[in-house]
Every structure is written in structure tokens, then in C-alpha cells.
Structure 1
């Protein structure tokens, strides 16, 4: 199970998954949302939820979701009414007519045929995924809700895709859609049975069967086989004499009517009620897995950004050298083909950018080291995800914990981070910085005071 599943409810998970789909076309400007999420929540999963809510509110996903939820019940009622009307039409065609004659075989096929076909398709879909093909009323309900609530240009289809992916990942998609489908069928069978029993109770009908090419013994065996299960519930089964009699007596007509009713209950209503209950139980057992997959690169990048931006607790009194974790950056597939050169806390006498950077084709920035400037720069790096970052530092200054924290954050938001030491003693400077980088766990950052070394293989 996803370890973050306990921290998401289905609505939050749907919004977060929908944002991932939206950002597949390009990252959103989320600097403000990220800062607010950092201030409101203390854990990575909670910050992902808060960022999703803030961005979802800004681009209208939350409003779309509320509108879809409001329309879902109305669409469900309309779909139920449509199915019930169809059931009433079928029941009316069975029990009506000037001759008041019912062909029990045709009646049974009319009332159970589509039900059995869709039920078999659903059961087959549990064993063999049918991909985009779905013949259930549950899928029709979701699709119509997205269409009605979102229109042609709304974002409800994105929410539908997000919810579908979550359900599929939790192995709940056929069960969730199946529950809606079984509930609709159960209601339709209940209405059809009520109409059928009312008509048979207060009007006189003649029930029989007809054939041109089949042996009458076939119908005798068929009636007995189909009536075996209803007989367990007390429904009578017409005997061979009643089946073979062209016009059965009143007792035989009653047996035919109750046999037909029992077949609809046992082979129609009860299976749908059973599978609706089964779907509900499976939903309760698996609903905790309805959460985004935080192991995906999209969510790993968000967690890395939040971790890099989290303020580090530093005690002024240094108890001694403690081991540092090695700085880790983004893999090549997670970055854009962007080069950046950043001047960090450089004095006015050191020009930035140096002339050697003119032909490197990099985006050039310079910050004074203030908290606001550093925050804005890190937001820019998180948005651009550069392939390489070159940081220019004053070689004569002493590296401190603020410099370490800045370099570690920059390294986590790029594939490669280099350090260019400007000014200072050409002999002692590089050795002092190399020793400090190794001691701080930043061995992956290459430091050099020579332009040709700092820019080697840069473009």
C-alpha cells in the first residue's frame, strides 16, 4: 500500500492527481503556493496536499469538482429514471396486449437478456482488464457527469481522468463502477417485479410457450432446470403436464406466473444485490489505497523541493564536526536543457558575469545573499529545473553554514552544480575550499578558480 495513503482523502488525491495531468503540458507558476504550503504544513505529504489545494483553487479545479459533485446525484437520478422507464417498457410489453397472452420464454429473455450480458461482461472485466472499453452504467454515469458539469471546455474531464487513474491504481475501478451499475439494475428489477406482480394479481393472463422446430421435451427440461434455484426460495415449478398442456388450468397458470417471477428474482434481482454488496465491501477494504503514488518522479521532485526549502535548524554553539549527508540532485531526465550562472554574495569589486561567461550561453543572475533573494532564486530554480548551475563565490571569504545550505539547495534542484572561485590567493584558496566541500559532504560539487576549468564541457 502507498505509505502516504493514510494522509490523503479521495478529494485531495483527485486534485493532486489532476494537477499532475495539468502540469504534463508544462509546470505551473507555483512559487506562492509552495511558500504558503511550507508555512501551513510541516510534513512533505501535507505540503503536497496544500500546494494542490492552492493551485487547484487558482486554476478552477476545486470549483469544477464541487460542480461535478453537485451534478452527480442529479445525473444518477436521471440515469436511474431512464433505466426504470426502460424496465417499465419491457414489463409493459410483456404483460400487455389485447389477447392478454404471455409467452414466458420471450418474457424471460426480454427481462433478463441485457442484464445477463452486462453482468458477464463485468465479471469478465474483473479477470481480464478491458482497457478503455466499459459497458457498465457506472462508467456511463461518470462520463455523463463530467460532460454535464464541465461542458465542452471545462476541466471536469481532467478530474475524471485523475479519479479513474486513482481507482485503477488502487484496483478499485471495476468495483466502484460495478457498484453503481448493480445498484441501478437492482432498482430497475424491483420496479419491474412490482409492475409484473401487480398486473398478474389484478388482471387475467394466459401464460404459454410456442415453438416451430424445437422438441417440447426441451422446454420441459428447461423449465425444470431454471426453476431449480427459485424452488429453494419456495417458488413453484410447473410440472411436465402443465408445460406440455397448450392451455393449462388456473392452478397451472398460477405456477407459470410464479415460476416467471421466481426466475426474475433469482437470476436478476438477487445477483445484482449480491454483487452490489460485494463491491461495497471491496471498496471499504481498499479505499485507503486511494492516494497518489509518491514514488513517481513528479511527486519526488515536489518532495525534494520542499525538503531543500525547509529551514535548517542551526545551533550557534558548534558541538563539533558532525557527519553530513551527501548532496543529491535531479537525474538527467528530470531537468530541462537550461544553464544558469549565479553570483553569490560577491563584493562590488568582483564583476559578474566575468567575460569568460559571455560565450557560455547561460542565464546569469546575481544575489546578495538576503533571505528574500535566496528564496526567489530557489523558486526560479525549482521552476526551470536547469541541467547545470555555476555558482560564483568570493574565494577570499570563509565558507560558512549559510554557504553550505545554499549550495546544498542549489545542487538538489539541478543535475550538476559547479563552484567558480573568484579572486583570492591562487595557491591557498582552492585547497581550503576543496577541504571545506569534502567536510560538508559536498564532494559532488566541483570547485575551481580557473575559468577554463570551471567552464570545461559547460555548454
Structure 2
């Protein structure tokens, strides 16, 4: 795999990554080999998650189905365009194909623009209202659904791939624009065909254009024709005057004005908005497509990041003479934290009472320092994102590189961390608590972990964390 492939995921890779996330909602996949492969290819956590997903996707058949969908997509779109064009020709034929060659201009206008205006209003509503029905009523959604059905059949992975793709588009605020690019494009082509057929018929056949009513005031039609004709008039289309509108049998000039007015209304209120929205959708897609990647802050991806970190080979962190201390991880932002306290007993001997007396409400854990125990606890921290962590260590033990590495991993998953060197019974009797705590403090300073304060009193550590009982 090239370095380019390991950069920010392209949209197909992002779809596979999200599809694996939805698949694993039903239960985790066996990913031991995929984890090792991803770890060996790159050090970037996001790229590792993507490589892992691509490995699992190949195994369960996601990539082949996505490839089939990309192959069938243009053909399904071509078929949908043909259907809409035939429907447009049918509408134009209904308007100009009557044997009496009489056209009711108002009925013709409503029949040619009615469905277009309704679907356009639904699409505009989908931009502002978070209701999926507005998007699923568009030609873009129909195209995506048909493509998925043709590519995947009845038992394929189409549902999870569609869910992943639409989820990514929604998160990037691109779903209505992506569907709009397809839908407005098809409508534009349809109006071009309708206008061509209408102009051809009006140019080479003689028609009588008029309006009819039983209950409406004729003055209403005069005002309606003038109002509807204002925008086309800005582009040079004529507007029938009141005498022409009220005339029962307008002459040839009046018929020509009616025909051009009808054509101008279809062009201005039908074709031009769709063409403009095609261009706008393309611009929005170009500007926002960089946001088409998974939400890496999601708990699922944070857990995978922690698992990859646990797979990393242990580094030698015992300070050599003259070695500069490392930089402590910055931790999580306040907006990412939950108001939770974790109390962790780390490699404590059996004669230390656990849990300590006087703890407030907290999640209490005790681990022996083994790799599986550390990984399990770090996974829980990645999901919980606690405001504070209190790490309880054995005061008489010597802090080592394993302790330093574990502390750095803990800092990356919480807001703040404090350390309490707990005493066993013998040490308490020898009154060595202050000296042991100072040794831990000196070690924290030397390893660049100044963010972690150590104190020999549990009450002081809890008070520093704002969790005093």
C-alpha cells in the first residue's frame, strides 16, 4: 500500500470503514490479523483504522459489492434519465398532441411545472429540516437505492453500505446536495427535452392557445398572466396584455405571444432553477467533500485507537543520563469529558486494602499490570472519557518504564490525573509516607509527567480532583 493510500481516506474507503462500524454493532469481528497488518503498515491511528476496515471488508465482501455498485451506477442513472425523458415527452405530447390543436395555457403550465415545483419544495425543505422523507423522495435517492439493489441483489451488503454512505454524507452536510446533484441534473435534461419538443410543435403546427374558467373572475387571469410573465420578460419573452388575455379569439400575433409566454414560463420557472441548482450543488460538493470521513471522536474509533496503542511494542523509557524528559499527552478537551471519576489500583500488593475507605462515587478498578488488563482498562477509559482519574500505586515500589507508559496512556483518555502512593501496613508503622510520595514526585518530574500530582494523603488527592467525600 502506498503512502498516498494511507493518507486521509477517500470516500470509498470511508464508506467501507463506516460499514465495518455498523457491521460490528451486531458483534465484533475476528480482527487479530487485520490489527497486526494495520499496525505494521503505518503509525497514523486514523490510517490504521481504515486499513483494518479494508482488511475486514475484503473478508466479508464489502469491496466487491461496492465495486459492482460503482460499475452499475452510471447505467442505472442512464436508465433513470431515459425514463424521465420519456415522461417529459409524454407531458409535452399531452400538451401539444391533441387532435383539436387547442391548448389551455394554464392547464399546460400546471401539468408541466406542477410535479417539478412540488419536488423542488421538498428538496429545499430537506436543506433546513432534519427529516429523511424529504431526501428519500428525490430522484437522487431513487438512483442510489436502485443501484444498491442491482449491485447487491436481495442478500448482499447493500443496506450496510447505503447506511454508511448516507451517514457520511449527512455528517458532512452533503446529503441533500449529493442527491440534488443527481436529481436537478435529471430534471434539467427533462426540461430541455420538453422545451425542444414544445418549440418544435409550436414552430411547425398551428395551435389555438387560450384559457377557460367557470367560476373565476377574468381579471384574476389578467393579473396571474402579468405576474407570471414578469420574470420571463426580463429575458425578452413577451407577456400578453390584458386585451389579448380577455380576447376570446386573439389573432395570429396574440397566439404567438401566448406561445412564447408559455415557453418562457417553462424555461424560467422550470429549466433555469434546476440548472442553477446543479451548479450550486457541484460547488457545495467540491467545498465540503474533504469532510467525508468517519467521526474519529466516536467511542467506537476511540476504542480502536486505544487497542492499537496497546499493540505498540514497549519502548525503553528509563531515563538515560542527559536524556530530556518526554512531553505529557495533552488529554481531552472539556467538551469531550463526562463527569466521572475513575479510581485505579495499579500493581498493588495483596496486603493493601482495596478499595480504600472514604472514596466518593467512582468507578473503581484494580489491575495487575499485565498487557490484557491494561488494554481492557484503557478501552473502558476510551469509552467513558472521565473527568478525573486517581491512580493508586504501591508507595514502596520503584516506578519504572511500564508505569510511565501506562500513565501516558491514561492521560490521553481523561481530563486530569492524580497519583496516590499507598502504604502497606509495615510502611505506615515506619512513618515513611512522606518520603515515598516525594520519591514518586521526583520521578514524575524527571519523566516529564508534571501534570500528574502525587501526594501521600488520599484526602489531598481527592480534594485536588474536586471529589472529596
TM-score (norm: length of structure 2):
0.72
Structure 1: distance between partners of 2:63 and 2:123? 32
Q: List aligned pairs for 1:49-448, cutoff 5 A.
A: 49-134=50-135, 135-311=137-313, 312=315, 317-319=320-322, 322=325, 325=328, 401=401, 439=443
Deviation of residue 327 (structure 1)? Answer: 13
Q: Does 1:43 align with 2:76?
A: no
Structure 2: distance between partners of 1:214 and 1:275? 35
- Asked if the contact 1:437/1:443 (under 8 Å) is kept, the reply is no
Residues 64 and 410 of structure 1, relative CA distance in 2, 3 Å threshold: farther
Residues 433 and 258 of structure 1, relative CA distance in 2, 3 Å threshold: same
- Asked if the contact 1:29/1:383 (under 8 Å) is kept, the reply is no
Deviation of residue 110 (structure 1)? Answer: 0.3
Residues 436 and 323 of structure 1, relative CA distance in 2, 3 Å threshold: farther
- Asked if the contact 1:37/1:47 (under 8 Å) is kept, the reply is yes
Partner residue in 2 for 1:393 = none
Provide structure 2 residue ranges, at least 5 long, that are not aligned to the other structure. 1-6, 332-336, 340-346, 348-367, 385-396, 414-428, 455-469
Deviation of residue 92 (structure 1)? Answer: 0.6
Residues 222 and 320 of structure 1, relative CA distance in 2, 3 Å threshold: closer
- Asked if the contact 1:399/1:433 (under 8 Å) is kept, the reply is no
Deviation of residue 36 (structure 1)? Answer: 0.9
- Asked if the contact 2:318/2:401 (under 8 Å) is kept, the reply is no
Structure 1: distance between partners of 2:265 and 2:369? 81
Residues 63 and 196 of structure 1, relative CA distance in 2, 3 Å threshold: same
Deviation of residue 269 (structure 1)? Answer: 0.1
Residues 407 and 222 of structure 1, relative CA distance in 2, 3 Å threshold: closer
Structure 1: distance between partners of 2:437 and 2:403? 14
Residues 130 and 383 of structure 1, relative CA distance in 2, 3 Å threshold: closer
Partner residue in 2 for 1:337 = none
Structure 2: distance between partners of 1:398 and 1:305? 27
Structure 1: distance between partners of 2:199 and 2:107? 17
Deviation of residue 87 (structure 1)? Answer: 0.7
Residues 437 and 304 of structure 1, relative CA distance in 2, 3 Å threshold: farther
Structure 2: distance between partners of 1:248 and 1:320? 98
Q: Which has the higher contact order (CA 8 A, sep 6+)?
A: 1
Residues 115 and 326 of structure 1, relative CA distance in 2, 3 Å threshold: closer
Residues 436 and 9 of structure 1, relative CA distance in 2, 3 Å threshold: farther
Residues 121 and 35 of structure 1, relative CA distance in 2, 3 Å threshold: same
SS of residue matched to 1:24 = helix
Deviations 1:178-237 (A, max 9, x none): 121111110100011111111111122111111111222222221111111111111111
Structure 2: distance between partners of 1:380 and 1:23? 18
Residues 323 and 222 of structure 1, relative CA distance in 2, 3 Å threshold: closer
- Asked if the contact 1:399/1:436 (under 8 Å) is kept, the reply is no
Structure 2: distance between partners of 1:81 and 1:214? 39
Q: Give the CA RMSD over aligned residues.
A: 4.7
Structure 2: distance between partners of 1:76 and 1:405? 54
SS of residue matched to 1:22 = helix
Deviations 1:401-425 (A, max 9, x none): 4686589889999xxxxxxxxxxxx
- Asked if the contact 1:88/1:191 (under 8 Å) is kept, the reply is yes
- Asked if the contact 1:236/1:255 (under 8 Å) is kept, the reply is yes
Residues 327 and 81 of structure 1, relative CA distance in 2, 3 Å threshold: closer
Residues 133 and 230 of structure 1, relative CA distance in 2, 3 Å threshold: closer
SS of residue matched to 2:26 = coil
- Asked if the contact 1:138/1:179 (under 8 Å) is kept, the reply is yes
